[in-house]
Amino acid sequence: MAVDSAVLMNLMMNNMFYIVGILGVLVLVMYVIIINLFLNLSYLKKRYKKMMTGVDSGLNLERMLMGHIDEVREAINKTAAVEAENKITRQLADKSLHKFGVVRFCAFEDMGSDLSYAVAMLDSANNGLILSSIFGREESRSYVKPIQNGTSTYTLTDEEKEALREAMAH
């Protein structure tokens, strides 16, 4: 082993210039890496401080997040309330008369214009009524006929049937 260490020492002494040069280059590379890490750490510290103190309000991040969580909860509650109101409004709209059919006609041949009419008024389930008016020279008559599921227990005239078809088409 003494021979091996002597050979190693001789090799190192003969190549000392190269060894020192390589170590010098490694030291320079390490300095560049250290400077780069220092700059990155400084940048991250600035961002962390800015994030923890808040931009304008001076609040720290935890307070800001808690405030946002409260706002989100409030928005969720308001959304639920709006959805509940929407459901009620939708139910009312379904029950309201919003489908209409109108037919004007001449009830008598000796009358000149279409003064008689049939109006069908239905909800979304085709429930509602038909309002009819027969206009004559001597008198005028009005009729109301209930409609359930698109049909009536009363006999409908052709004009009333047409008004009902028109309303159900909407």
Question: For the residues of the chain, what is the DSSP string, one character each?
Answer: -HHHHHHHHHHHHHTHHHHHHHHHHHHHHHHHHHHHHHHHHHHHHHHHHHHHH-SSS---HHHHHHHHHHHHHHHHHHHHHHHHHHHHHHHHHHHS--EEEEEEE-SSTT--S--EEEEEEE-TTS-EEEEEEEE-SS-EEEEEEEEBTTB-SSPPPHHHHHHHHHHHT-
127 and 163 in a single domain? The answer is: yes
At residue 63 the predicted structure's pLDDT band, cuts being 50, 70 and 90, is confident
86 and 115 in a single domain? The answer is: no
Domain's final residue, options 45, 67, 93: 93
What is the mean pLDDT of the segment spanning 145-163?
95
At residue 59 the predicted structure's pLDDT band, cuts being 50, 70 and 90, is low
Q: What is the percentage of the chain residues whose pLDDT exceeds 70?
A: 91
Residue 55 pLDDT exceeds 60: no
What is the mean pLDDT of the segment spanning 91-120?
87
Residue numbers of the domain that contains 66: 58-93
